[in-house]
């Protein structure tokens, strides 16, 4: 596929910039000087500079706590000041752990980058997931909907069968789509991630880190469709079944902050997010929020031991902004 060829051309440059980014702490440097030689005639002040890979990213070199947060030993978490490109809190942000349905942020990112929101996608027999407890909307072979509808269901309700439907229609097969996910992760600097599927159900070599999750989520926020979807408390739509009949579905957001089932700290506004839960991954949540001054932040909690711990820890971090 053409998109796969483009990955190979761009990877070397991305890896070079990543090495620069990881050598820094705190904020990403705004620029790096191009190599200087003694034989150059131009004064140093007139030399050109190149934009660094991490110029607009928060960079964490290890454990960070600038806000005073105490989380459970199992939890991994990060709090990132988007405008200041600063890591305010980092705990276990480079631990490779199962991401559960936070995986679907990367699935959505790849789909938005290489797909057309208005294209009609069709389910195959591969959408029949039998794993116990898997979140499904029950689509069947031959069912049709637009990519935009599928992304809404994917991100709001976290439907695993829809993740497979998207993957097959964007890349031709789930395996090819997963290859795209892994290549896109490298180009975003998420070098400690590896995907085995587009939904996040448990697989042995399927993992991410908190920091990589921040990188992927931050990239997805550049798409307006993503921003609009992840802040919706509920979604209703109608898709076409194999026999041509219309079927209406209504789904609620799995992010309980958006449904007022969990309370945010005063003056914090929820701009949206994505949840994930499996036995292996524990309870996970990534959110985009704004403080009283309207400044944006990204917060991540992964591997929380239970539901209450997840929302308590996220609320604790958000109270510090």
The CATH number that applies at residue 128 is 3.40.710.10
Which tens digits make up the pLDDT trace of 179-200? 999 999 999 999 999 999 999 9
Catalogue the active-site residues: 101, 104, 158
Residue 237 falls within a domain, yes or no? yes
Residue 30 falls within a domain, yes or no? no
Q: Residue 56's pLDDT is what?
A: 84
Closest CA to 229 of 134, 299, 152: 152
Residue 236, both tokens: 């209703």
Please check whether residue 287 is in contact with residue 102, taking contact to mean a CB–CB distance below 8 angstroms: no
pLDDT over threshold 60, residue 19: no
pLDDT over threshold 70, residue 37: no
Residue 52 falls within a domain, yes or no? no
The number of domains in the chain is 1
Closest CA to 179 of 274, 106, 99: 106
Residue 50 falls within a domain, yes or no? no
Q: Residue 54's pLDDT is what?
A: 66
pLDDT over threshold 60, residue 53: no
Residue 281 falls within a domain, yes or no? yes
Of 102 and 9, the one with more pLDDT: 102
Give me the domain span that covers residue 300.
63-318
Q: Residue 29's pLDDT is what?
A: 39
Please check whether residue 157 is in contact with residue 230, taking contact to mean a CB–CB distance below 8 angstroms: no
Which tens digits make up the pLDDT trace of 65-90? 999 999 999 999 999 999 999 999 99
């Amino acid at each position: 596929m053409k998109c796969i060829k483009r990955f190979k051309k761009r990877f070397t440059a991305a890896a070079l910039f990543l090495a620069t980014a990881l050598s820094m702490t705190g904020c990403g440097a705004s620029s790096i000087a191009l190599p200087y030689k003694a034989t150059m005639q131009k004064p140093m002040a007139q030399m050109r500079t190149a934009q660094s890979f991490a110029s607009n990213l928060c960079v964490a070199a290890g454990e960070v706590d600038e806000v005073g947060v105490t989380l459970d030993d199992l939890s991994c978490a990060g709090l990132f000041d988007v405008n200041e490109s600063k890591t305010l809190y980092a705990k276990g942000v480079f631990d490779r752990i199962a991401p559960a349905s936070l995986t679907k942020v990367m699935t959505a990112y790849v789909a938005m980058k290489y797909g057309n929101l208005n294209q009609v996608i069709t389910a195959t027999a591969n959408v029949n997931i039998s794993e116990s407890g898997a979140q499904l909307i029950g689509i069947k072979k031959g069912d049709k909907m637009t990519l935009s509808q599928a992304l809404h269901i994917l991100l709001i309700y976290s439907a695993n069968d829809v993740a497979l439907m998207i993957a097959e229609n964007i890349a031709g097969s789930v395996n090819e789509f997963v290859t795209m996910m892994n290549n896109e992760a490298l180009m975003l600097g998420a070098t400690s991630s590896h995907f085995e599927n587009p939904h996040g159900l448990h697989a042995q070599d399927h993992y991410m880190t908190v920091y990589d999750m921040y990188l992927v989520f931050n990239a997805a926020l550049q798409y307006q469709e993503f921003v609009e979807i992840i802040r919706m408390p509920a979604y209703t739509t109608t898709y076409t079944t194999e026999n041509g009949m219309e079927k209406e579905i209504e789904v609620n957001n799995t992010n309980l902050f958006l449904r007022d089932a969990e309370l945010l700290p005063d003056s914090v506004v929820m701009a949206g997010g994505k949840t994930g839960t499996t036995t292996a991954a524990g309870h996970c949540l990534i959110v985009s929020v704004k403080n009283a001054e309207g400044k944006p932040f990204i917060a991540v909690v992964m591997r929380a031991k239970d539901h209450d711990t997840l929302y308590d820890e996220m609320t604790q971090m958000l109270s510090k902004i």
